[in-house]
Structure 1
Amino acid sequence: MKKFNVLVMGYLLLMTIGVFAQQTSKNLSKIESDSLLIAYSKTTNIVFPFAIKSVDKGSPDILVQKAKGIENILQIKAAQKGFLQTNLTVVTADAKLYSFVLNYDEESPQLNLSLNKTKSEGQEIYFSDENINDEDVQEYSKLAFYDKKKLRGEKERQYDIDFSLNGIFIRDEVMYYRIKVTNISKINYDIDQLRFFIRDTKKVKRTASQEIEITPIYILNNVVKIEGEAENTFVFALPKFTIPEKKFLSIQLMEKNGGRHVELYVKNKKLVQVTVLPKL
Structure 2
Amino acid sequence: MKTLVHLLLVIFILLCSDSIYAQAHRAPDTIYANDHQQVALFFPAPIRQAVTGAPHMVFTYNKDRPQYFGLLQAKAGVVSNLFVIDQQGNIFSFVLKFREELPHFYYFFTGKDAVGREAPLKKDAVATAKAKSSPYLERLSEHFLRRAKGSLRRQKTSGVVLRVKDIVFFNENFFLVMELENSSGISYEPDQLDFYISTKKQGKRKSMQTLPLEILYAHSFPEKVLAGTTDRFVVVLPKFTLPDNKEITTRLFEKHGARNIELKLLKRHINGGSAGK
TM-score, normalising length: structure 1: 0.52
Cα RMSD, aligned residues only = 3.4
Name the residue aligned to 2:230. Answer: 231
**2:86 pairs with 1:60:** yes
How many Å apart are 1:176 and its aligned residue?
0.3
Match of 2:110 among 82, 85, 101: 82
Question: Corresponding residue for 2:143?
Answer: 143
Residues 46-82 of structure 1 deviation map (CA, whole Å, 9 limit, x = unaligned): xxxxxxxxxxx97335349xxxxxxxxxxxxxxx983
Superposed counterparts of 1:79-228, under 5 Å: 82-83=110-111, 85-88=113-116, 134-152=134-152, 154-202=153-201, 209-228=208-227
Deviation by residue 1:197-255 (Cα, 9 ceiling, x = unmatched): 11111379997601111121111112221111111101001111121122111111111
C-alpha separation between the residues in 2 aligned to 1:86 and 1:194? 22
Segments of 5+ residues of structure 1 without an aligned counterpart are 1-38, 41-56, 65-79, 92-99, 101-131
The size of the alignment, in residue pairs, is 169
Cα pair 1:181 1:233 within 8 Å, conserved: yes
Q: Structure 1, residues 247-266: CA drift from partner, whole Å, max 9, x if none? A: 11111111112111111111
- Alpha carbons of structure 1 residues 182 and 137: separation in structure 2 relative to 1, 3 Å: same
Q: Distance in 2 between matches of 1:247 and 1:179?
A: 21
Q: From the superposition, tell whether residues 82 and 239 of structure 1 become closer, same or farther in structure 2 (CA, over 3 Å).
A: same
Change (3 A) 1:254 1:267: same
What percent identity do the matched residue pairs reach?
21
Structure 2 residues not aligned, in runs of 5+: 1-43, 46-82, 91-107, 121-131
Q: Distance in 2 between matches of 1:90 and 1:250?
A: 12
Cα distance, 1:187 vs structure 2: 0.4
Change (3 A) 1:209 1:240: same
Rate the CA distance shift 1:192–1:140 in 2: closer, same or farther, 3 A: same
In the alignment, what sits opposite 1:249?
248
Runs of 4+ in 1 over 4 A off after TM superposition: 203-208
Whole-angstrom distance in 2 between the partners of 1:218 and 1:141: 9
Q: Cα gap change, 1:260/1:269 in structure 2, threshold over 3 Å: closer, same or farther?
A: same
Q: 1:191 to 1:89 in 2, by over 3 A?
A: closer
Q: Distance in 2 between matches of 1:184 and 1:83?
A: 33
User: 1:158 & 1:151 partners in 2: Cα distance?
Assistant: 17
Change (3 A) 1:160 1:210: same
What letter is aligned with 1:263? E
CA contact (8 A) 1:196 1:214 kept: yes
d(CA) in 2 for partners of 1:186, 1:240: 38
**Whole-angstrom distance in 2 between the partners of 1:171 and 1:228:** 34
